Structure 1
Amino acid sequence: MLHTYYTLRALADEWRRELAGSLLADAFSQERDELVLAFARPQAAWMVRISTGSFRYLFRAEGYSRARRNVATLFKEALGRTLRNVRVAERDRVLFFELDDGTRFQCWLYGPHPNVLWVGSDGQVQAAFQQCEAWQGQPAPTPRPAPEVATFEAFRARWRSDRKTLVQAVASAFPLFETLLAQETIYRAGVTVQAPAECSEAELRRLYEAGRALEAELMHPAPRLYEADRWTVHFALMPLKHLAHLPCRSFDSVDAAVRAAVRRALAARAFQAAYEPLRQALETAVARARQEQRALEAALARPDQAAQYEQWGHLLMAQAHQVPAGAKVVELPDWFNSGASVRIPLDPTRSAVENAQAYYERARQARQERDALHQRLEAVRQRLPKLEALRAELEHLDTMAALRAFRQRHADELARLGLGRVGRKSSEGIPAFRRVPLGQGFEAWIGRNARENEELTFRYARKYDLWLHARGVAGSHVILRVPGRNRVPDRKVLERAASLAAYFSKARGSSVVPVVVVPRKYVRKPRGAAPGTVVFEREEVLLVEPQPPEAVQAENF
């Protein structure tokens, strides 16, 4: 109900009584898509904040404050004039602030192109908050009053049986109603059918009478907020019977209720913007850790081939004289299994001894791989409970203060997981690249698309940083940020960064990926090439296993 004509009408009535006769002291914007009109008297000041962004709002705050920088002063020629009247258009959601020289601010907050226009006494737009050049000199748009539904016949004529829901049909029949008022109308009318086409004539009449009764109540606001959940409050201009089960807070004025509702919504949006990316990142980290644990356990459950390779090597070495030259397979007595024969695949280009040595090498590699699997499994078994504990603790947070405390309390753990900056705005104008701390002061910055790759490599990377990319496949640019010009990363840090470059590439599914490592100063973009395309020289190639950020940080847990 926050955005209805009825709310604007009630606000206009209250603001007219309190603001009429005050001076327009300032008009500025310091937040994107938000205009502030500051009014003042000798002993008092107020700011009317108007948003034309994705979340549209209008409320008044007491006092006056303005940032020292990154602020645009607007409507300079209107400043210093006296506010004569505040009114709302007849049955339309357009609010007017009328000044003593005949000019007015015309606030169109709803519809596809919300704006605040400063309109001269001749009806021509002198300036606009949005798209000022396009509006200057144009005639101000005229409000369009919604039809008044004063009889049952008018209501019946507007009834749309083809609407999907009863709420939509009621809101269509009463054009100034939104969802909350339509739901209250249905509740008070006692109509239980689901489809508009199923309404009987008697039920339609009850809906009409309930809606008209609501319109009469809206003439005498009794504002309140209903608490639906920790994120959602419903603003209402009067008691709503269908929400009577919810906790409710009453207000002495519509102005105070609207201010509380908008601030609550802004706080909830800010919290969600910081909370939700972190929650999703932890959910993803937990899911990946569980998937990795299952994959490692499955790999270790398979038979260990190291012993078999070693036995084949022993048999070939001991019975080399029985192996024909150029054979692709040989059948020999298996001294390790009661003398039964065993078939051993061979490389026909190698001798029996060379084949035996190859099997010894394969046995050594298989043991190393299995040891590595055990180490990774142990690491993920230690990491997973910590991730689950972080996620469980996060789920109980519901305020920005609690979220900040959570970040501070677990700063080290979140940084090791590469989640330290998730949900935070980048500082100093630097895009929010993926950032993964690698220890010893080194950090990997990872581009997320072609445009970010180009910005990262050619705008934000320093000449002495290292540039990494999976060789021969599409993928993210990774910059290994060096903490000092003379610092040289050790092999472990290089391999961590290379594992990230392999993971954020088309070769993610490979077991081993070649990754190019080049000092940034040897990377350049060919003339006319597409964003993200580079050529380089003096590269080094590392062979690494693709690893996500949380796995790269596993050894720090």
Structure 2
Amino acid sequence: MNNYYALKYLTKSFEKTLLNRHFLLSVSPFKGVWSATFGTDKPECSLIFSSHPSETALFTDRVKSLKKRNITSFFSELTQQRVTSVQLAENDRFLSFTFSNNLILRFALFGNKPNIYLIENGKILESFKNCDYFSGRPEPQPRETIIHKKIPKEGTPVKKIITGSFPLFPRHLIAKVVDHYSLDEKTPEQVVDQIELLSQSIETSPEFRVLHDGSLCLIPEKLLPVKNLGVFRTVNEAVAFAYHKGTELRRFSHLINSVKPLLERKRNSLQLRLEQLHKTAADPSRAEVYEKTGHILMANAHKELKAENGSMILPDYYNSDQPIRIPVDESLSIAQNAQAYYDKSARTERSVRQAKRRLTDTRHELAEVTELGRSLEGIERTDQFEQWSREHSSVLEKLGVGKKNLKPESLPYRKITVGSYEVWIGKNARSNDRLTSAAHKEDLWLHARGASGSHVVIRMNNQQAMPPKEVILRAASIAAFHSAARNSSLVPVIVTKRKYVTKPKGSPAGAVKVQREKVELVQPAEI
């Protein structure tokens, strides 16, 4: 979905759909996913970016309603700015949008860490991922692509020939191409000629296909006859389909894997329990042996006999008075040892009775779990899984399969409400680190200036306007009170956005660096 040729055609698509549109809002609705809304007099549309290395993608889509809470927003400096150009780097997978305020939004669509960078005058202002690390660094530059123009030597691996001579050729298709054209049996010249032909077909007569394995392919089907899931009018439609299909498969796999291993463990546990119950229920003779041993001891209780090495040798009147060695507790009398064996006999009899009762229940449970496992094997889609889980909810609940018995974790910082705003207050140095790390970049961050103390955050919840002055002053007073300067009559308190607060590498817990700040002079006040 992110090979160079796909991005080349996507760039042309974005020029048609996004040029001269205004940036309205961008959020992260899910982990690793960024969504921006663009609008003008035309209907609004979304630009979707997936940073998952296995399914890196960029495409436009229809606008979907977003939940109002617990979403993270990005790149507010672009709000209401117009897209003036869309450009793809030459021979590299950097795709850049330039806006009317001369800021650039650059997508890095390669490697294990795909990202988005907001750039001003060659410096990164903000990034989608790892903003603290990238903020203030130079903008990323396209790599120089080295193309081997000489024909490789005989014996050079086919994949190396292709990646060396055609570094932009879609790597995920190499195995399919090698297999279809038997390139392992061809000379380097023949390999180069074949890949040249396929590359030209992508440039001049592409087909926007999604293959049976969910991968994107621009090579025409007549040149690479691999089974399709679908063929699309535009590359954007193909990428969107491949992404949503991959997301659906990933969600489906997660749902199956959340239940299947638990069912298997439950079945194995029940099978082991069944074996143990069978063993106990099938051996009632142990109770009889313990009882007879007690009788033998009791028959000799009147005698003054001493145990040696934890046992006694006594005549077994159940076996023609043949001598029998009986383990005993030397601290107890013979009668007491006899009673201990009677107790063992009674416990064993109870165990046998219980085992026989539990055998029926355990067989029934095992049959239920086995049948659940069989029925799960036939499920191929998320909607089928959801229906299956509803139909078997009572059995799943009874078996404890899929239930999450998690105790709520206590927060590492304190939460209060000031006006209509949620305010976080650090408890100690480590708590301060976690609070600042958890805060959104647009939240307000406060700390007593020049004194140790709690980090305080006013949660913005994607609101563009600043909180009322009284809310800021109240939070500042709380920050002053929770600092080493709490006994002063007036305390200067730093107020800044969280995105301007960074933690130097290797610094102690709670230590931060503030890049931009305003100062409010307030009286310390308790919560």
Q: In the alignment, which residue of structure 1 is the partner of 2:484?
A: none
Q: In the alignment, which residue of structure 2 is the partner of 1:156?
A: 152
Q: Describe how 1:66-465 pairs up with structure 2 within 5 A.
A: 66-120=66-120, 122-149=121-148, 151=149, 153=150, 155-156=151-152, 161=156, 166-167=158-159, 170-192=162-184, 203-219=187-203, 220-228=205-213, 233-239=214-220, 244=225, 246-301=227-282, 304-321=285-302, 324=305, 328-334=311-317, 336-337=318-319, 340=322, 342-421=324-403, 434-435=404-405
Q: Describe how 1:502-541 pairs up with structure 2 within 5 A.
A: none
Corresponding letter in the other structure for 1:123: G
- Residue 234 of structure 1: how far off its partner (Å): 2.1
Q: Describe how 1:485-504 pairs up with structure 2 within 5 A.
A: none
Q: In the alignment, which residue of structure 1 is the partner of 2:499?
A: none
Match of 1:44, SS? coil
- Residue 130 of structure 1: how far off its partner (Å): 3.0
Runs of 4+ in structure 1 over 6 Å off = none
- Residue 208 of structure 1: how far off its partner (Å): 0.7
Corresponding letter in the other structure for 2:19: A
Q: In the alignment, which residue of structure 2 is the partner of 1:38?
A: 37
Q: Which runs of 5+ in 2 are unaligned?
A: 415-527
Contact 1:184 1:242 in 2 (8 A): no
Aligned residues: CA RMSD = 3.1
Corresponding letter in the other structure for 1:174: F
- Aligned in 2, Cα 1:340/1:143: closer, same or farther, shift over 3 Å? same
Q: Deviations over 1:104-147 (max 9, x none)?
A: 21111323543212223x33334333344544444322212423
Q: In the alignment, which residue of structure 1 is the partner of 2:494?
A: none
Question: Distance in 1 between the 2:155 and 2:57 partners?
Answer: 30
Contact 1:306 1:367 in 2 (8 A): yes
TM-score by length of structure 1 reads 0.66
Question: Distance in 1 between the 2:364 and 2:64 partners?
Answer: 53
Contact 1:9 1:87 in 2 (8 A): no
Q: How many residues align?
A: 409
Contact 1:296 1:377 in 2 (8 A): yes
Of all paired residues, the percent bearing the same amino acid is: 24
Corresponding letter in the other structure for 2:206: P
- Aligned in 2, Cα 1:300/1:173: closer, same or farther, shift over 3 Å? farther
- Residue 417 of structure 1: how far off its partner (Å): 1.8
- Residue 227 of structure 1: how far off its partner (Å): 1.9
- Aligned in 2, Cα 1:294/1:171: closer, same or farther, shift over 3 Å? farther
- Residue 255 of structure 1: how far off its partner (Å): 0.7
Contact 1:45 1:64 in 2 (8 A): no
Q: Deviations over 1:483-531 (max 9, x none)?
A: xxxxxxxxxxxxxxxxxxxxxxxxxxxxxxxxxxxxxxxxxxxxxxxxx
- Residue 408 of structure 1: how far off its partner (Å): 1.6
- Residue 252 of structure 1: how far off its partner (Å): 0.7
- Aligned in 2, Cα 1:188/1:373: closer, same or farther, shift over 3 Å? closer
Corresponding letter in the other structure for 2:254: A
Match of 1:47, SS? strand
- Residue 349 of structure 1: how far off its partner (Å): 4.3
Q: Describe how 1:465-484 pairs up with structure 2 within 5 A.
A: none
Corresponding letter in the other structure for 1:156: P
Q: Which runs of 5+ in 1 are unaligned?
A: 194-201, 422-433, 436-444, 447-451, 460-557
Corresponding letter in the other structure for 1:215: S
- Does residue 1:29 correspond to 2:12, yes or no? no
Corresponding letter in the other structure for 2:99: L
- Residue 9 of structure 1: how far off its partner (Å): 0.7
- Residue 175 of structure 1: how far off its partner (Å): 1.6
Corresponding letter in the other structure for 1:224: R
- Aligned in 2, Cα 1:21/1:351: closer, same or farther, shift over 3 Å? closer
Question: Distance in 1 between the 2:283 and 2:45 partners?
Answer: 73
Contact 2:313 2:323 in 1 (8 A): no
Question: Distance in 1 between the 2:328 and 2:26 partners?
Answer: 85
- Residue 414 of structure 1: how far off its partner (Å): 1.2
- Aligned in 2, Cα 1:378/1:323: closer, same or farther, shift over 3 Å? farther
Question: Distance in 2 between the 1:279 and 1:47 partners?
Answer: 36
- Residue 27 of structure 1: how far off its partner (Å): 2.6
Match of 1:329, SS? strand
Q: In the alignment, which residue of structure 2 is the partner of 1:52?
A: 51
Match of 1:362, SS? helix
- Aligned in 2, Cα 1:62/1:156: closer, same or farther, shift over 3 Å? same
Q: In the alignment, which residue of structure 1 is the partner of 2:429?
A: none
